[in-house]
Amino acid sequence: MSFALHGIPVSGGIAIGYAHLISHAQLEAAHYRVPDHQIADEVKRFDGAVESVRADLSRLRGTVPKTAPAEFVGFIDVHLMILNDSMLSVQPKRIIEQERCNAEWALKIQMDALLAQFDQIEDAYLRERRTDVIQVVERVMKSLLGHPGYAPPQTDDGRKLILVAHDLSPADVVQFKQHHFASFITDLGGTTSHTAVVARSLNIPSIVALHEARQLIRENELVIVDGTQGVVIVDPDSQALAEYELRQSQFELERLKLKRLRYMRAATLDGIAVELQANIEGPDDVGQARENGATGIGLFRSEFLFLGRTELPDEDEQFEAYRRVAQEMEGAPVTIRTYDLGADKDTEETAQRFVTNPALGLRAIRLCLIEPQRFLIQLRALLRASHYGKINILVPMLATVREVEQTLLHIEQARASLDAEGVPYDREVKIGGMIEIPAAALALGIFTRSLDFLSIGTNDLIQYTLAVDRTDDAVAHLYDPLHPAVLSLIAHVLKTADKARVPVALCGEMAGDLTLTRLLLGLGLRQYSMHSAHLLEVKQRILQTNLSQAKPLALRMLRENDPERLRALLDKMNA
């Protein structure tokens, strides 16, 4: 019987194939008492399972191709770090000895205790880490139960497979990628989940938060995944199948046509030039950015150099990463954000600074300013690298004039130290600030008077404006880029910065959302920065836009408060 499911679309396109279900982890462990003389063997069995998973993850890490997105290795490293933590690798053995119970039950007790702690803290970052803990425990549990790992079926008959899972770990995605699944769909996850990030980087149509897909879809059932609309059609009738086959052909043809736009200048039909730059997490992402015609790097998230490791990168390691990107971009601008740690991105060290709400706590520039020595190391590395290309320095989460002044003082200190050592650097390096707090958007003069450029970080700006935790699946539906307050803030920043003649870019998810391209153009945006996978689509939309028509509709949307009329105006703009 045909039916449809709706979820959160995280990677566009259409996939048609046969469902392959990934089983749940066997977390419902049996409980039995272990005789005293077998306790040592039970502990040894647990150690063997942990070692097996450790070897499995290490092997997976080694198979990640150099051309793969940087997130792949980072995610596996996080799982290795969790596995090696004594809370998972040692404490269950104590439970086995104290409770005289089997290893599976001890592991379950320990996992439940850890998850209960996470639930009490109600911390956005820890909620994300909570999922990682479950995924690592799943692997150990499977190893204990005698069916470790997973061997996807080979499809030499040419059939495409749609992978259906309750949730996927990063290691799972890396492993499955090697078997060329046509799509991932999961019950859990949000737009910022690991699966979503990896799926977008692979350009695989994917949908998350389907809630009951794993229970409702049967093995080998024919499935259509519309990753653009967030719709899954199970057991489609012949008419629906024919329609989606046609859409799929058209989509693939359009994707091929887009490649022709790589070297074309982005400009509207009425001649307004637009800069389209790429967001990257590391030097390995530069190739994809150039392949998709990026005119620069609009956002290099340098904090990814710090994640998934026990020791922080020193000045030389950071310098080499920045230098490599600057050189590979061959004179095109490279905007590098100083590390934005805290909230949903943390190192092992800073994760210990638990607070009730890290999104509002010690993160980004706030963290940098209380750690001047660490901040100075990064600033020196950035300035040194500027000798090899056109580097701009971007500072995240600025809110007050005091923070701006302190940041500029630290940059001057870094310059002075390099001067004293005779180290060359670009003395014209531009310093910019991210506008991602409503207070910063409203008090923009603080920043336009002191900084060379601005970048609107819409992910956090929306989060803080609407009081919606963007990592929380329970409130994800409230995260709305079209909320009148959000549009008003963006328009205010663009207008005020333009009046002050300070360049402003937009680097959040909104930049890569094709439905919002014309709206942002109409509001005055002239520089977008987005994931490389979206660059050519957005360029095509710009090439097809008449700004003189889009601008009046955009201004009408600014005066509109009704959500339905806002949507109708947006549809009219994109028609």
Of 368, 410, 483, 507, which one is the catalytic site residue? 507
DSSP per-residue string spanning 261-319: GTTSPPB-TT--B-EEEEEESSGGGHHHHHHTT-SSEEEEEGGGGTSS-SS---HHHHH
Query: Comparing C-alpha atoms, which of 350, 331, 334 is closest to residue 342?
Result: 350
- Taking CA atoms, 76 is separated from 63, 114, 347, in Å, by 11, 20, 14
Q: Residue 235: what residue type?
A: D
- Taking CA atoms, 264 is separated from 295, 363, 394, 527, in Å, by 11, 39, 28, 16
Query: Is 194 annotated as catalytic?
Result: yes
CB atoms within 10 A of CB 299: 27
CB 162 within 8 A of CB 17: yes
Which tokens sit at 244?
A: 């989606």
CB 479 within 8 A of CB 465: no
d(CA 159, CA 150): 19
The side-by-side arrangement of strands in the sheet containing 206-208 is: 3-6, 231-234, 222-226, 14-21, 161-165, 183-186, 206-208, 8-11
Of 166, 194, 410, 531, which one is the catalytic site residue? 194
Give the three-state DSSP class for 60: helix
d(CA 360, CA 342): 10
* Angle made by CA atoms 329, 432, 540, in degrees to the nearest 5: 50
Q: How far apart are the first and last CA of the chain?
A: 34
Query: Is 368 annotated as catalytic?
Result: no
Annotated catalytic sites, by residue? 194, 507
